[in-house]
Structure 1
Amino acid sequence: MSAVSPGRPWDVHRLPSARNRTFLITGGNAGIGYFTAEQLAATGAVVVLGCRDAGKAGAATASIRSRVPGARVRHLPLDLADLSSLEAAVDRLDVGRLDAVVHNAGVALDDPPRRETADGHELMFATNHLGHFALTRWLAPLLCAAPAGRVVTVGSFAARSERLDPDDLQSARDYRPQRAYGRSKLAQTSFALELDRRLRATGSPVLSVVAHPGGALDSLTPSRPPLHTATAGSRLRALPAGLLLQGKDAGAWPIVRAVLDEEVRGGDLWGPRAFGLRGAPRREPVPAHMADPAVAARLWSASAELTGTDPHLGFARPRLL
């Protein structure tokens, strides 16, 4: 990947070229995913929006093209809640290699009742974690075919206050939507860090990195009609929050850096500079509970079983001596 000049600080408004590279962004039609796609499209890369709704994907594509002349962006129909559909979805990607996937798509429910997918998995855990776990398996050959493939998982502050219960990963007992959401994001992060440990053990050039948007609010986000419209009133009311928080356009900056910057290392956690809430992206310490190898190993085994996936995820195995 093209790097910034030595000694020059990372500039979110002057990104290095990524021409001839291909990036897949799950949930790239809205929110953080949309702004990640818009910013990456400006680097000259081919950007693929992986999402269910063709109409929303079309609106996002049109919006990006209106702001990025010559943008190369397309839609991949992708439903992370339907595990049986993921292999065929990756086949439709129709590329020889994939330089990065951004695991961004997610479901956040505010109220009971507990909902399940057609496979019988709790909806948030299934979409946010299990779908990305299984998708990584099918993308593995394409990521390995790239000179320096990356798996960038979008984390969340919601994961910081939660702990995984390996005996109740799907919140079958005492279901509380906000807690279940936080645990699903913690599962994503734990998976991403464990994936990098396993990639390093095989000597793989593929990196697995976590990046989070900090405090990113719709009310502080610039308009992208018809995807999102910020009224003058809503922006005025949000001004006090802007002292600590930011819009989703700025929330995408750590994710974009995690995709592009050659200084990024496997197992990194990237977030906004100011208290992890707003500002330019920086590397952060990884909280111990997110990187607990014993919990991660149990999560990995359970995820492989629940998705019917090869626990090696299709990446190269270490050679036996």
Structure 2
Amino acid sequence: MPLNILGTALFEGTDQIPYYSTIRAVAPYAAVAGAIKYWSRGPSNTWERKLHGKVYLVTGATSQSMGTSVVLQMAQLGAQLIILTREIDQWSTEWCEDLRDRTGNELIFMEKCDLADLWDVRKFATSWLDNSPPRRLDGIICMSGEMQPWGIPRLSVPKRRSSHDGLELQMATNFIGVFHLINLLQPSFKAQPPDRDVRIILTTCWLQVMGDINLDDPLWQDVKFDSSFKFFCSSKLQLGLCMMELQRRLLQEMQKGKTQDGVQRTGLNVSVTMVQPGTMRSPSLRRVISNGSIIVLIVLYCVILYPILWLFTKSGNRGAQSILYALMTPELEEINLKDDKVKYISDCSIVKFSRKEFDDEELQRKLFDTTEKKIFELEKQMAIKRKSAKTSGGKGKEAGKNQKKKKKKVTKSS
């Protein structure tokens, strides 16, 4: 077909080509749109390695967007996946079975671990560590995230949603729960053999540059809720800063040990990486644009804005490329590392952090220590509440039994 068109244009002139004037008028706009889309979709991950026998913990896999694309390719490459999910119900069970069928990989499992519940996180981490010899772990990929509607100025005020522990939901899910999980799993990372490439990969967002740091109250328990946008940005920023300190602590602790041959360990086989996947047409973006309204979602997102969003944003599969790059690139292997700092990956390449706080080690240390301390204090408070609730519930049951016994005695005597 193209040869016929070219032949007609050469020998008979362009006037003989059907709809040539229309094509000529539309072609420049189509070329510009194609160039924009090619730029906005971002690069693809060109690295690939077999993952047979490797074990990974994954959060945020059931998003039906970026997270699902990542685990789909990991499963196809033979990885054993332990997917952490908020609830294990009929939907999640069927989703897991479907993933096994699509990839032919039966080594896909689901474990309950709600990152917005500190007790749930501790229960999972404790069960994971309570094993001898230590379980194999080749990495953890944290892609879970929470983004609440920002509110329409002068029309609506964003509502504060709270976690099980009374924390703001975005702060609890994006920062505190992830920090708690990885901090508790430190013994598992340290227990891996020195020749095992262990990668801790966490997703962030470019909006972190607009976040604030609260050294005195890193859980933001006493901060007035006036903007969900501020809480989201700050949760991503504080997570990145704490991970910088975590990398240093892992290295220091692991360098104290030795291999079976008595050789000093370097600790460089465990790497922490922050990944910025880009702006995607994700459930979070839909929630923000629609302000939580189904009608606004249908009219504004699906009808009015979708052509523009399609042109300038990534799909979930394209956003997954940077995470797959962080998982597979040989640049993060111990033999190729040029320094021991946390790497920041965007568009399948290592870039620099944009905030000066990422160079302030003292700030990162204080934030890490305070966050760890505040989480421990909050855990104790919640444990006391659970115990008192359990005690009062037990007393209520005993009182109910006593009342039933009294009624039986009355009926017998009558």
TM tier relative to shorter chain: 0.7 to 0.9
How far the C-alpha of 1:305 sits from its partner, in A, is: 0.9
Report the equivalent of 1:287: 354
What is the rounded CA distance, in whole Å, between the counterparts of 1:14 and 1:64 in structure 2? 23
CA shift in 2, pair 1:243/1:157, >3 Å: same
Does the CA-based 8 Å contact 1:196-1:209 persist in structure 2? no
Which one of 105, 122, 127 corresponds to residue 144 of structure 2? 105
How far the C-alpha of 1:174 sits from its partner, in A, is: 4.9
How far the C-alpha of 1:11 sits from its partner, in A, is: 6.4
Report the equivalent of 1:42: 76
CA shift in 2, pair 1:24/1:54, >3 Å: same
**Residue identity opposite 2:204 in structure 1:** G
Which one of 345, 368, 385 corresponds to residue 270 of structure 1? 345
Structure 2 counterpart SS, 1:216: coil
Does the CA-based 8 Å contact 2:45-2:322 persist in structure 1? no
Report the equivalent of 2:205: 156
How far the C-alpha of 1:268 sits from its partner, in A, is: 0.5
**Residue identity opposite 1:213 in structure 2:** P
Does the CA-based 8 Å contact 1:36-1:252 persist in structure 2? yes
Range with bigger deviation, 281-290 or 91-100: 91-100
Range with bigger deviation, 42-51 or 156-165: 156-165
Report the equivalent of 1:85: 120
Please give the per-residue CA displacement for 1:241-264, whole angstroms capped at 9, x wherever unaligned: 344321111111111222232312
State how 1:139-218 maps to structure 2 within 5 Å.
Answer: 139-146=185-192, 147-169=196-218, 170=220, 172-202=223-253, 203=255, 204=267, 205-218=269-282
Does the CA-based 8 Å contact 1:19-1:45 persist in structure 2? yes
Report the equivalent of 1:296: 364
Report the equivalent of 2:102: 67
Which one of 55, 78, 82 corresponds to residue 22 of structure 1? 55
What is the rounded CA distance, in whole Å, between the counterparts of 1:255 and 1:62 in structure 2? 24
CA shift in 2, pair 1:116/1:179, >3 Å: same
Does the CA-based 8 Å contact 2:46-2:325 persist in structure 1? no
Does the CA-based 8 Å contact 1:76-1:92 persist in structure 2? no
CA shift in 2, pair 1:284/1:301, >3 Å: same
What is the rounded CA distance, in whole Å, between the counterparts of 2:304 and 2:164 in structure 1? 43
How far the C-alpha of 1:51 sits from its partner, in A, is: 0.8
5+ long unaligned stretches in structure 1:
1-9, 220-230, 273-280, 310-321
State how 1:219-298 maps to structure 2 within 5 Å.
Answer: 238-264=306-332, 266-272=341-347, 281-291=348-358, 292-298=360-366
Structure 1 counterpart SS, 2:246: helix
How far the C-alpha of 1:91 sits from its partner, in A, is: 4.5
How far the C-alpha of 1:212 sits from its partner, in A, is: 1.6
RMSD of aligned residue pairs (Cα, Å): 2.9
What is the rounded CA distance, in whole Å, between the counterparts of 1:128 and 1:256 in structure 2? 20
**Residue identity opposite 1:209 in structure 2:** T
How far the C-alpha of 1:181 sits from its partner, in A, is: 0.7
Does the CA-based 8 Å contact 1:108-1:181 persist in structure 2? yes
How far the C-alpha of 1:107 sits from its partner, in A, is: 1.8
**Residue identity opposite 2:279 in structure 1:** G
5+ long unaligned stretches in structure 2:
1-42, 152-157, 256-266, 284-297, 378-414
What is the rounded CA distance, in whole Å, between the counterparts of 2:51 and 2:271 in structure 1? 17
Please give the per-residue CA displacement for 1:174-224, whole angstroms capped at 9, x wherever unaligned: 5310110111111111112221232333432321110121011149xxxxx
Between Structure 1 and Structure 2, which shows a larger proportion of strand residues?
A: 1
What is the rounded CA distance, in whole Å, between the counterparts of 1:293 and 1:121 in structure 2? 27
Does the CA-based 8 Å contact 1:97-1:144 persist in structure 2? no
What is the rounded CA distance, in whole Å, between the counterparts of 2:68 and 2:58 in structure 1? 9
Which one of 136, 144, 150 corresponds to residue 182 of structure 2? 136
What is the rounded CA distance, in whole Å, between the counterparts of 2:318 and 2:106 in structure 1? 20
How far the C-alpha of 1:141 sits from its partner, in A, is: 2.3
Please give the per-residue CA displacement for 1:69-126, whole angstroms capped at 9, x wherever unaligned: 2352110111112212223213545771211111222222225332333323222212
How far the C-alpha of 1:237 sits from its partner, in A, is: 6.4
- TM-score, length-normalised on structure 1? 0.77
